[in-house]
Structure 1
């Protein structure tokens, strides 16, 4: 029996050794942690003064948003199946984008294919049933062939460990500081990046530069029901992608703050901005929700401050979880209504979701 146990232990160690992840850390400007408990903090903490807030007719019904019992769909003039100029951008709902750069790199943001990791999936199924009515029409196999996967933070709707196991070790992974230790051991190459740190993704043609940028958010992850681990001990990022002189900004989950002005001061006008507009609504804690998620009018303000040439909103839709929203397309309804009363310099593109019903 002891010989059998020894052989089994050797096999486990051998397999674990073969599948250990490689974690590189790039923190060129030394993103600051709290000295006492090593928690990360936002660049601009504290009470906010928001430049604009919708007060009336925020959710006035629109003829260009059509809903059936199965799904809602925007049908207006901003609609495109994908954005295809310098970058080709395809949206698969919530925060999942496929980005093809001018240097032929394929980058995926925050892929989550089904519900949440355990135990949140169990809790939601127990109390609410299925949360997502539609799922991304993008296969795990397609993501596994990408050049890189960018994760913005470790919340369940943006990072799923079982999905990482399915995606595998072909793409390189770029993540916020300390997030690499949350990955399952799959033999992946993971680069943790502090705010304003840069890295280069090399393809067969030319390199694509990837820069980690600040977001105004937080991190926590339920370890067992109602008990949280790693609260703010793992950071949260936005991402800037630069290729052949063109730039694309993926903001990640974020509230509105001065960090957008900081980004513009460093990098100037941005060609394409993927900005969240959802999950700001809560009847019980509205100030907290807005503190860490942008309203549509916050996103319009941010787009102007970033000098976005093209703005693509996300976070709402049929494949979102509807957390902190009135309905699947309420955030888009408010966004389009606010465009009629707020100036926006950017060209607006509303991407059609590439999703399928469950």
Structure 2
């Protein structure tokens, strides 16, 4: 018997269940390292082990007051008010910091790239659990305006952790941009006709005159609350991105600890013009050594900038819209950076942003 009421679900599925266009960029020239974990032989691994020692570590009085930051409370709800370095050689890259790890980048040819967008909290229902327990909940972050999203050409993800990848945002971002991701990501997209390019380390893709390179990071991946306990551990790759336009380069490191991979990147791509480098989530009373293994301290970031020979640096990860995972306060990492910067005296300019601000290099 004909049942016309079945037509509506069929039409909905016809539009929403369109197969994604998935391309995997991996060759003899790219790099991937595997390990055996929980019986799986295809889990991804970092290129290097955790350093036995770090080049420099601030041992005491690492968070002194500074007139360069105004706060409502002790290192909480703050705003940087210090001077910014002059930008003498314009490259054409515009960097807008949306908060935590999210950036909207405008390339010299006008292409707009959204990096690690997370519009609200963690994906449901994990966000609800964290809200109930009082942890890892943040002030509502910024989000690109409609006119900015209408110009979006690419979305890139560094890794699959909740604070860098939010499934709920994909519906909003739609099918017009191309999604560039690490290996293993496409399975986390719902069907809908999305263009996804999964990439191995040192793989490259071209979008008009923009070259997009996926490069190593020292981190891990999972979509669970507690790492290393379920079968999805390290099933997807992680890394950073280099955006190259007519020989000019902008590097987004993603979450990463310090390792020789920074020197490898410099040797392959040369000195980096603009580096977006993390400085947070390294502090923990009990598991501090593990946190530092997969996140940069501010002093580690300065050493990494030297390894990359960054011409200009934008730090990120702190802020009023961060989750404060592994941090003392919302801005403790920035206080520490300004302190160790005086000790290490880096020659390269460091451009400190408040959330929502932008700068053109």
The answer to whether the superposition gives a TM-score over 0.5 is yes
Change in Cα spacing, 1:224 to 1:280, as seen in structure 2 (3 Å) is closer
Change in Cα spacing, 1:79 to 1:326, as seen in structure 2 (3 Å) is farther
Give the distance between the partners of 1:45 and 1:229, measured in 2 at CA: 22
Give the distance between the partners of 1:164 and 1:120, measured in 2 at CA: 17
Give the distance between the partners of 2:2 and 2:53, measured in 1 at CA: 67
Give the distance between the partners of 1:223 and 1:303, measured in 2 at CA: 31
Partner of 1:326: 328
Choose the corresponding residue for 2:234, options 219, 232, 235: 232
Mapped contact 1:303–1:344 kept (Cα < 8 A): no
Query: Structure 1 residue 48 and structure 2 residue 47: aligned?
Result: no
Partner of 2:289: 287
Show structure 1 runs of 5+ residues with no match.
none
1:159-238 aligned at under 5 Å gives the runs 159-202=165-208, 207-222=209-224, 228-238=230-240
2:242 match: secondary structure:
strand
Mapped contact 2:140–2:321 kept (Cα < 8 A): yes
Q: Deviations over 1:99-139 (max 9, x none)?
A: 11112211110010111102211111111178112421534
Mapped contact 1:180–1:190 kept (Cα < 8 A): yes
Give the distance between the partners of 1:86 and 1:125, measured in 2 at CA: 40
Superposed displacement of residue 350, structure 1: 0.6
Give the distance between the partners of 2:125 and 2:226, measured in 1 at CA: 7
Change in Cα spacing, 1:309 to 1:130, as seen in structure 2 (3 Å) is closer
Change in Cα spacing, 1:226 to 1:191, as seen in structure 2 (3 Å) is closer
Partner of 1:74: 80
Show structure 2 runs of 5+ residues with no match.
none
1:13-52 aligned at under 5 Å gives the runs 13-17=13-17, 19-28=18-27, 29-34=30-35, 36-52=40-56
Partner of 1:3: 3
1:125 match: secondary structure:
helix
Partner of 1:87: 93
Give the distance between the partners of 2:309 and 2:332, measured in 1 at CA: 26
Q: More deviation in 150-159 or 134-143?
A: 134-143
Change in Cα spacing, 1:20 to 1:300, as seen in structure 2 (3 Å) is same
Partner of 2:352: 350
1:305 match: secondary structure:
helix
1:165 match: secondary structure:
helix
Give the distance between the partners of 1:228 and 1:74, measured in 2 at CA: 40
Partner of 1:99: 105
Q: More deviation in 156-165 or 45-54?
A: 45-54
Partner of 1:122: 128
Change in Cα spacing, 1:124 to 1:84, as seen in structure 2 (3 Å) is farther
Mapped contact 1:152–1:238 kept (Cα < 8 A): yes
Mapped contact 2:217–2:253 kept (Cα < 8 A): yes
Give the distance between the partners of 2:261 and 2:248, measured in 1 at CA: 21
TM-score with structure 2 length normalisation? 0.90
Choose the corresponding residue for 2:159, options 153, 156, 162: 153
Count of residues paired in the alignment: 349
Give the distance between the partners of 1:222 and 1:351, measured in 2 at CA: 31
Choose the corresponding residue for 1:64, options 68, 74, 77: 68
Give the distance between the partners of 1:249 and 1:67, measured in 2 at CA: 30
1:288 match: secondary structure:
helix
Partner of 1:243: 245
Q: More deviation in 159-168 or 297-306?
A: 159-168
Alignment RMSD: 2.6
Change in Cα spacing, 1:219 to 1:141, as seen in structure 2 (3 Å) is farther
Give the distance between the partners of 2:312 and 2:290, measured in 1 at CA: 29
2:42 match: secondary structure:
coil
